[in-house]
Structure 1
């Protein structure tokens, strides 16, 4: 791994916000899902949630531009599962919907642990997400249309959260688990070795402060040994 890539990955890890997330409530279009993931990566969101009743969920790689490697998507079959995850982290749940109690999304304090729920392209947020909300939010519009594309709306809210958190100096201090950071540094800094580890079922090694692999002689011997899969072909 080059020093430049090592520094860039570490900078990303230092800025990840573990108590800020987005929940896609049955958003179906793969390009919209990918665009939200890309925006989440840009503002430093560590992982997003997706309520997806079906088994399969695809992300448009062209739109995501590799962001899915950096932002984990946690899938739920029902919104109640996502709600439990948010409550476990004491997050305020902000659901986008037009209601009598909805407020301008900019009037929210995003320095608190926050989950932002975005609805799908046709029906908006689900009744379960609306009921679970700590606060309903909306994006004011003065034109003829009633709503924005979900990925555009999500980006607006996420960047407001980033703005507030930057003013509060919430970026730049690493909050992620050390083991997770080691995994990211190895997988993204040494992808060939990481692929070989998964194929040969070898545990990941440690990464030192220069981004280099720290491993025993036995580990290197196993890495250099013939691939069992190749021998069976």
Structure 2
């Protein structure tokens, strides 16, 4: 039986630089909280938009018994944005508020303000409702503020993914003006672990499946240091413990 992990994929200098530059701009305190979005294409669009504006993580409220697969619908973008699932809306909102996030619901109400009037440079989450009911009454009560996108036509609202893209574009503009994309903002440990997952997805998957630490990589080119030595050690450990 072969106990070796998937072969290492080597990267070009251009790819290494692209990964580093992207991670340097990641925003750990800007996110979207999606309230039971039904359509995979809308989930895909949210993930793609999140990646485009530098979001590191997207939160989804979707109970396990109702969870729909979406992997692949984002055309690979879900590889670049972490997805965190919450069992309930209250869990998702409290999780963010406990970390000092402002949760802004895209919701039409008497208290709603123009989406351009709020401060997106502080830790914040944009809550978007599902395609049928929009933001639920429970969510409207729990969030910190309601925001709206002014409409000039006959329709009452944008598609959920379009609305998120418009709001996140304003968040990006504010953060860019404040210089928040000019320096790495991820915690160093999270930065390096994310880099490894992006640069060596096959090895990262193998390590997760077998509860192994990631092998060290060179800071110069991102390649695994002494890969043949690491392969040999992993293979020897697996042969010594075939049941693991």
**Aligned residue in 1 for 2:97:** 87
Indicate conservation of the 8 Å contact 1:22/1:116, yes or no.
yes
Indicate conservation of the 8 Å contact 1:22/1:49, yes or no.
yes
SS at match of 1:214: coil
**1:49-95 alpha-carbon deviations (Å, 9 max, x no partner):** 11113432322624x12110111111111111112211122111111
Task: Please report how far the alpha carbon of residue 190 of structure 1 lies from its aligned counterpart in structure 2 after TM superposition.
Answer: 2.4
Indicate conservation of the 8 Å contact 2:80/2:198, yes or no.
no
For residues 75-224 of structure 1, the aligned pairs below 5 Å read 75-198=85-208, 201-210=211-220, 211-214=222-225, 219-223=230-234
Distance 1:135 1:226, change over 3 A: closer
Q: CA RMSD in A?
A: 2.3
Structure 2 CA distance for aligned equivalents of residues 219 and 136 of structure 1: 52
**1:78-126 alpha-carbon deviations (Å, 9 max, x no partner):** 1111122111221111111111111111111111111110011010111
Indicate conservation of the 8 Å contact 2:48/2:77, yes or no.
yes
For residues 7-26 of structure 1, the aligned pairs below 5 Å read 7-26=17-36
Indicate conservation of the 8 Å contact 1:99/1:136, yes or no.
yes
Distance 1:82 1:197, change over 3 A: closer
**1:3-25 alpha-carbon deviations (Å, 9 max, x no partner):** 11111111111111111110001
* More contact order relative to length (CA 8 Å, sep ≥ 6): 2
Structure 2 CA distance for aligned equivalents of residues 101 and 161 of structure 1: 20
Structure 2 CA distance for aligned equivalents of residues 133 and 79 of structure 1: 10
**Aligned residue in 1 for 2:70:** 59
Kindly tell me the number of residue pairs found equivalent between the two proteins: 229
Q: With the length of structure 2 as denominator, give the TM-score of the two structures.
A: 0.85
Indicate conservation of the 8 Å contact 1:197/1:223, yes or no.
no
Task: Please report how far the alpha carbon of residue 199 of structure 1 lies from its aligned counterpart in structure 2 after TM superposition.
Answer: 5.2
For residues 21-40 of structure 1, the aligned pairs below 5 Å read 21-40=31-50
- Residue segments in structure 1 that go unaligned for 5+ positions in a row: none
Indicate conservation of the 8 Å contact 1:6/1:185, yes or no.
no
SS at match of 2:103: strand
**Aligned residue in 1 for 2:3:** none
- Residue segments in structure 2 that go unaligned for 5+ positions in a row: 1-10
SS at match of 2:190: helix
